[in-house]
Chains A and B, each alone.
Chain A
Amino acid sequence: MRFNAFITGFTGLLLLLQGCQQGVRQDNLQIENADAAVQTRTLGNGMKILVLENHRAPVVVSQVWYKVGGSYEYDGITGVSHALEHMMFKGTDTYPAGQFSEIIAANGGSENAFTGKDYTAYFQRIASDRLELCLKLEADRMRNLILDENEFKKEIEVIKEERRMRTDDDPTALAYEHFNAVAYLNSSYHQPIIGWMDDLDAMTIDDLAQWYKTWYAPNNATLVVAGDVMAENVFALAEKYFAQLEPSVIPQLKSRTEVRQHGERRLSIKAPAKVPYLMMGYKVPVLKTAAQPWEAYALEVLAGVLDGGDGSRITRHLVRGSEIASQAGAGYDLYNRQSSLFLLEGTPATNSTMEKLEAAMLTEVEKLRQQKPSDEELARVKAKVMSSAIYEQDSVFYQAMQLGILETINLGWEIKQDYMKNIQAVTADQVQAVAKKYLIRDTLTVAVLDPLPIEHQSKNKSAGVSVHGH
C-alpha cells in the first residue's frame, strides 16, 4: 500500500549489483556473475572518480556526491544541507541562475539532486557524448556558487512548501519524523533531513554560505559516471575540469554516537487521519559500526526472512494467516554512516487493533529469538539476493547510486563486491544470534499514529452540479 513508502525505502533494494569473481553456488540457485569492473582514479586535489562502463544504451549518468547531509547538521540549522542543495541551481558568474538546467535540457538531458542523511548528490542523465558538459557545469558550481540573498528568500519559501507537502500534511510522514526524534536521543539521525519548520524560518543565507564553504570541495566529493563511456576518457575530462579546484581542510565530524537506551520508549502522534499506523524500531548496528561485519549481513538476512517478498513471514503470518495486519513490513539498511534502527511497521486490519498488531509483531520477533529460520527460508532470501544482483544491472542509475553511497559513507565501493559472498555466508544460527542480541525490548521505540477526525465539507460553485464530499 502506498502509505508505507518511506519505510520500504531502500532496504529492499540495497542488494548489490555484481559480486564475486567466480560463480556462487547455492542450493536452489547458481549464477555465474559477470564482474562489471569499476575503474577508479583520484585527482591530485583528492577528488575520487569512479567509472562503471555499461554499453547497453548510448546514455550516461553522471553523479557528484558530497560527504554532507542531514546527519552532519546540529540543532538550530537542521535542513541546511537540503536548502543548499536547492540553492546549487541558482547560478555562478559563468552560468547565471537557470542556465545549468537550460543547458542540460537543451542537450536532451534530465537532471536533479537529492539530499539524504549521509550525503548530498547531484546528477544528470544524458546522451553519452554530452558527458563533458555535465562535468564542466558541476566543477563550476562546486567552487563558484553565488548565494544571493533575494534568491534565497524565495527558495526558502519553496522549501517550506515542500515540507508542508511531504511532512506536515502527510500524517504517516509526520508520525515517522516524530518517531525518529524520539528513538534517537543524541545521534544526529534524530533530526529530519528537510529540517524543522522553526529552523527553516530562522535560516539565513549566511548559514548556507558557511555550509557551502565547509563541505563543498573536491576532496569531499566523489564523481560517479556509469554508462556508455570509456573510463580513460572520463578520467581525462575529470582531470580537465576538476583537477584545478583547490582542496579544503574538511573538518572532522563529531561522533555523536547514540547513547545506550535504557528501556522501551513510546509515543503517540495525533493528526487528522483515517488509518492508524504503527512503527517499531530496535537499535541496531550497521555495517560501518557492527562489532563484527557478519552481524550487519545477518540483520539484512533477518529483514529478508521477515519481509523479503510475498512469501516471507510478515505477509504470511500477519497479513494472510492471522489477518491482524492490513499491511505490514520490516526494514533494515546496512549502509548508514551511524548505527540505526531495525524497523517494523504496519496498519491493523479491519477487525484487528493496534494492540493486536503490536503483539503480533513482537511474537514474530520472539520467534526469531527462540528459533533459527528454516533452510528453505534462508534459501529464498539468498535466491532473491542473487537474482537481484543480475536484475539491477538493467539500471545504470541504480548501480551508480550504490557506488556513490558506499564511497560517501566511507565504506568504500569495493565492499559491494563481497556483498553476495557475505550474504551467502550468513547461517541460520547467526540470524538467530543477531535477533537475540539486538531485537530487545529495552532498545525498542514504539510510535502510534492516532487519527483525529477529518471534517468533510465540499461545495460547488457552479449551479446545478452536485459534488460528493469526502
Chain B
Amino acid sequence: MVIKLRNILVLFCFSLTGVVSAAPDIQHWVSEKGARVYFVPANDLPVIDLRLVFDAGSARDDGNYGVALLTNGLMSEGAAGNNAQQLAEQFEAVGAQFSNGALKDMAWLNLRSLSDAQYLKPALAALDKILTRPDFPAPAFKREIERLKISVQGNQQSPSAIAEEAFYKALYGDHPYAMPTEGTEKSLAKIKVADLRVFYKKYYTVKNAVISIVGDLTRQQAENMINDLLSDLPVGQRAEKVSDVKPLTESKTIEIDFPSSQSHILIGQLGTSRGDDDYYSLYVANHPFGGSGFASRLVDEVREKRGLAYSVYSYFLPMRLPGPFQMGLQTRNDQAEQALQIINSELKRYIDEGPTKEELEASLTNITGGFPLRIDSNRKLVEYLAMIGFYDLPLTYLQEFNDKIRAIDIHKIRDALVRRIHPDKMITVIVGKQASKS
C-alpha cells in the first residue's frame, strides 16, 4: 500500500522533546551490578516495553567503520548455541517483538512482550542469550557483512543519502561522527569477526548500559527482571569520552553530479549537544524558522510562495557531542540556484532580525500545547526514558520541559542565534545534474 503524505517535514523525532504537566514520574535506580535503570509503570495494557541502550554507537568504530552496527546486528544471529532461526522462533512463539539497531551515539536491543509471565519469561530468556552469550558465528558474520555492503551500495543510488553522507563527512572531518554507521564498502571489506568480539566485550557491559522499562509490572518485578537479565553480563565500565568535534573554520561547497531530476541541497554547520545551555533557545529559535512545517518561514518562502519544493526544513539534531544544524530541500535541477539563494538569505535575515513576536508566541503555544502528544504511548515513553538516561538529563526533564520552553524570549533567541549560527562558515552540499555545470 502506498500512501502519499502531504508533507514529511518533521523528520527527526529525536530533535523534539517536550512535556505536559501530566508527565509521569520516572523511577530511577542503579541495578545490583551497576546499570542505570529508568522505569515508569503502566498497567492499562498487559504489555512490557524494554529498551537496553549501550554507549556503543558508531562513534566507537575507531576507524573500523561499521563495526558497531555489525556487532549489534550479529548478536541476534546466534547466541548460547542457538542459531538465528531458533532465537527468532523463541520470540515469535510467545508473540514477542525483538529489534536492535545502532546510531552514532548508541546501540540498542528492544523487547516488546506481553506481560503475563508465561509469555514474558521465554522472551526474556531469549533476550538474555542475545545480550550475554552472543556467538558471532562466522557464517552469519560473512553473510551479514555482504548484506550490509549491498545496503551501502543501495545508498549510492539515492541522491538524498549521497547528500547526507557528503554533509557529515564535510562537517565532521576526522571525527568519527563523519562516517556513516553502516560503514563504507572499503571499511567493511576489512572488518573481521574478531573485531566484533572485541567490540562486544568492551562496550556491552553493565556499567555502559542504560535500561528503560515502561509497562505492566511493579517496581520490585522490574528490579528483579533487570538483575536477572544482567547477572551474566560483565560489570565493565562506562565508555570513555569521544574526542571533541571541531567547528568549521570556513565555508565549503560540495557539488556531486548525479543523474536525478532534482537537486538535493543540504546546508548547515555544528548545532547543539544534549544538555547544551543553549539547547532550548535554539530549539525554539528553529521552530518558526524551519521546524514547524507549514507554520515555518522556510516552507512559506520556498513552497507556499514559490512552489519550489515539496519538502523544506531545518533542524538541530542534538547528540552527545554537537550534532548538526541542517537546512534541506529538493528541487528541479534548474531551480537549485534560486532555492539556494532563498534559503541562505532567509537564514541571514533570521539571524539578523530573529523571529517576530507573533512567530515566537505561536511557537511557544504549539510546543507546549503539543507536549502530551509526545508521550501518548508506551513506545514513545520508553524511548524518552532511554534518551534521558543515556544523555544524563535530569529525571525531571519531562516535567520541566514546558517551563524551560516558556522561559525562552526573543532576547535569548537572538543572542543564541548570533553566537551559534555563522552564515560565513557553512557546509553546502548539492547533489544533482545541475551541479556539474556551475
Write the residues of chain A forming the contact surface with B, with a CB cutoff of 8 angstroms: 1-3, 6, 9-11, 28-29, 31, 56-59, 82, 85-86, 89, 98, 101-102, 105-110, 112-117, 125-127, 153-162, 164-166, 168-171, 193-194, 272-275, 308-311, 315-316, 319-320, 323, 326-327, 333, 347, 349-351, 376, 379-380, 383-384, 386-388, 390-391, 393-396, 451, 454-462, 465, 467-470
Bound Cα distance from A273 to B436, whole angstroms: 19
Interface residues of chain B: helix, strand, loop or mixed (majority): mixed
Determine whether the beta carbon of B252 is less than 8 Å from that of A462. yes
- Which residue of B3, B20, B378 has the most chain A CB atoms within 10 A of its CB atom? B3
CB-CB < 8 A to B44: which residues of A?
56
Determine whether the beta carbon of B146 is less than 8 Å from that of A350. yes
Determine whether the beta carbon of A310 is less than 8 Å from that of B369. no
User: Is B114 engaged at the interface, CB distance under 8 Å to the other chain?
Assistant: yes
What is the distance, in angstroms, from B251's C-beta to the closest C-beta of chain A?
Answer: 6
User: Is B350 engaged at the interface, CB distance under 8 Å to the other chain?
Assistant: no
CB-CB < 8 A to A384: which residues of B?
92, 95
Determine whether the beta carbon of A461 is less than 8 Å from that of B253. yes
A-B interface, 7 closest residue pairs, ranked by CB to CB distance from nearest: A108-B369, A387-B95, A157-B307, A154-B307, A311-B88, A310-B88, A57-B376
Interface residues of B in 242-267 (CB under 8 A from A): 250-262
For B, the interface residue count at a CB cutoff of 8 angstroms equals 93
What is the distance, in angstroms, from B181's C-beta to the closest C-beta of chain A?
Answer: 13
Determine whether the beta carbon of A161 is less than 8 Å from that of B262. yes
Determine whether the beta carbon of A165 is less than 8 Å from that of B310. yes
Closest to B370 in A: A108
User: Is B131 engaged at the interface, CB distance under 8 Å to the other chain?
Assistant: no
Determine whether the beta carbon of B4 is less than 8 Å from that of A168. no
Whether A117 touches B1, Cβ cut-off 8 Å, given contacts A59-B373, A383-B95, A462-B252, is yes
Bound Cα distance from A85 to B255, whole angstroms: 35
Determine whether the beta carbon of A327 is less than 8 Å from that of B147. yes
CB-CB < 8 A to B6: which residues of A?
85-86, 89, 112-114
Per-residue CB proximity of B275-304 to A under 8 Å, as 1/0? 000000000000000001111000000011
Whether A470 touches B156, Cβ cut-off 8 Å, given contacts A116-B1, A386-B95, A458-B257, is yes
Determine whether the beta carbon of A394 is less than 8 Å from that of B45. yes
User: Is B50 engaged at the interface, CB distance under 8 Å to the other chain?
Assistant: no
Interface residues of B in 1-40 (CB under 8 A from A): 1-7, 10, 20, 22
Determine whether the beta carbon of B369 is less than 8 Å from that of A455. no
User: Is B151 engaged at the interface, CB distance under 8 Å to the other chain?
Assistant: yes
Closest to B99 in A: A310
Determine whether the beta carbon of B303 is less than 8 Å from that of A158. yes
Determine whether the beta carbon of A101 is less than 8 Å from that of B362. no
Interface residues of B in 365-398 (CB under 8 A from A): 365-373, 375-379
Bound Cα distance from A162 to B308, whole angstroms: 10
Bound Cα distance from A117 to B371, whole angstroms: 33
CB-CB < 8 A to B308: which residues of A?
157, 161
Determine whether the beta carbon of A165 is less than 8 Å from that of B255. no
Bound Cα distance from A82 to B310, whole angstroms: 13
Whether A127 touches B436, Cβ cut-off 8 Å, given contacts A31-B114, A454-B156, is no
| Residue of A57, A394, A451 touching B157 (CB-CB under 8 A) | A451
CB-CB < 8 A to B362: which residues of A?
102, 105-106
CB-CB < 8 A to B119: which residues of A?
29, 387
Determine whether the beta carbon of B259 is less than 8 Å from that of A2. no
User: Is B274 engaged at the interface, CB distance under 8 Å to the other chain?
Assistant: no
Closest to B296 in A: A105
| Residue of A380, A457, A470 touching B436 (CB-CB under 8 A) | A457
Closest to A468 in B: B169
CB-CB < 8 A to B292: which residues of A?
105
Binds A, one of B159-167, B230-238, B409-417: B159-167
Determine whether the beta carbon of B366 is less than 8 Å from that of A106. yes
Whether A170 touches B158, Cβ cut-off 8 Å, given contacts A309-B92, A388-B95, A462-B253, is yes
Bound Cα distance from A156 to B13, whole angstroms: 29
What is the distance, in angstroms, from A109's C-beta to the closest C-beta of chain B?
Answer: 7
Closest to A28 in B: B93
Given A108-B366, A159-B310, A275-B150, 18 extra CB contacts under 8 A: A2-B154, A56-B45, A57-B22, A57-B376, A89-B294, A101-B293, A110-B10, A160-B332, A161-B309, A310-B84, A310-B91, A320-B85, A326-B147, A390-B45, A391-B112, A394-B378, A454-B157, A455-B259
Bound Cα distance from A171 to B92, whole angstroms: 34
Bound Cα distance from A428 to B278, whole angstroms: 61
What are 15 sample pairs from A and B whose C-beta atoms fall under 8 A apart?
A: A28-B93, A31-B114, A107-B365, A108-B365, A112-B7, A160-B332, A161-B262, A169-B159, A272-B157, A272-B259, A383-B92, A383-B95, A459-B255, A462-B251, A465-B170
What is the distance, in angstroms, from A116's C-beta to the closest C-beta of chain B?
Answer: 5
Determine whether the beta carbon of B96 is less than 8 Å from that of A470. no
Determine whether the beta carbon of B332 is less than 8 Å from that of A161. yes
CB-CB < 8 A to B305: which residues of A?
154
User: Is B47 engaged at the interface, CB distance under 8 Å to the other chain?
Assistant: yes
Determine whether the beta carbon of B85 is less than 8 Å from that of A349. no
Whether A110 touches B85, Cβ cut-off 8 Å, given contacts A158-B310, A193-B4, A390-B46, is no
Interface residues of B in 146-205 (CB under 8 A from A): 146-147, 149-151, 153-154, 156-159, 162, 165-166, 169-170
| Residue of A127, A162, A315, A323 touching B369 (CB-CB under 8 A) | A127
User: Is B227 engaged at the interface, CB distance under 8 Å to the other chain?
Assistant: no
CB-CB < 8 A to B170: which residues of A?
465, 467
User: Is B311 engaged at the interface, CB distance under 8 Å to the other chain?
Assistant: yes
Determine whether the beta carbon of B309 is less than 8 Å from that of A470. no
Closest to B18 in A: A108
Bound Cα distance from A159 to B311, whole angstroms: 10
Closest to A227 in B: B376
Determine whether the beta carbon of A153 is less than 8 Å from that of B307. yes
CB-CB < 8 A to A327: which residues of B?
147, 150
CB-CB < 8 A to A155: which residues of B?
307
Determine whether the beta carbon of B93 is less than 8 Å from that of A127. no
Interface residues of B in 126-161 (CB under 8 A from A): 140, 143, 146-147, 149-151, 153-154, 156-159
Determine whether the beta carbon of A114 is less than 8 Å from that of B259. no
Determine whether the beta carbon of A127 is less than 8 Å from that of B372. yes
CB-CB < 8 A to B1: which residues of A?
9-11, 116-117, 333
What is the distance, in angstroms, from B30's C-beta to the closest C-beta of chain A?
Answer: 28
User: Is B331 engaged at the interface, CB distance under 8 Å to the other chain?
Assistant: yes
What is the distance, in angstroms, from A400's C-beta to the closest C-beta of chain B?
Answer: 13
- Which residue of A58, A59, A456 has the most chain B CB atoms within 10 A of its CB atom? A59
CB-CB < 8 A to A98: which residues of B?
294, 304
Determine whether the beta carbon of B252 is less than 8 Å from that of A465. yes
| Residue of B114, B147, B376 touching A59 (CB-CB under 8 A) | B376
Determine whether the beta carbon of B252 is less than 8 Å from that of A108. no
Bound Cα distance from A52 to B154, whole angstroms: 42
What is the distance, in angstroms, from A464's C-beta to the closest C-beta of chain B?
Answer: 9
User: Is B334 engaged at the interface, CB distance under 8 Å to the other chain?
Assistant: no
Bound Cα distance from A376 to B90, whole angstroms: 12
CB-CB < 8 A to A101: which residues of B?
293-295
Bound Cα distance from A325 to B2, whole angstroms: 24
Bound Cα distance from A193 to B4, whole angstroms: 8
Bound Cα distance from A387 to B96, whole angstroms: 7
CB-CB < 8 A to A58: which residues of B?
20, 22, 372
User: Is B326 engaged at the interface, CB distance under 8 Å to the other chain?
Assistant: no
CB-CB < 8 A to A470: which residues of B?
156, 162, 165-166, 256, 258
Determine whether the beta carbon of B84 is less than 8 Å from that of A320. yes
What is the distance, in angstroms, from B274's C-beta to the closest C-beta of chain A?
Answer: 24
What is the distance, in angstroms, from B430's C-beta to the closest C-beta of chain A?
Answer: 10
Determine whether the beta carbon of A349 is less than 8 Å from that of B147. yes
What is the distance, in angstroms, from B189's C-beta to the closest C-beta of chain A?
Answer: 12
Determine whether the beta carbon of B89 is less than 8 Å from that of A109. no
Determine whether the beta carbon of A109 is less than 8 Å from that of B146. no
Bound Cα distance from A164 to B310, whole angstroms: 10
Closest to A470 in B: B162
User: Is B229 engaged at the interface, CB distance under 8 Å to the other chain?
Assistant: no
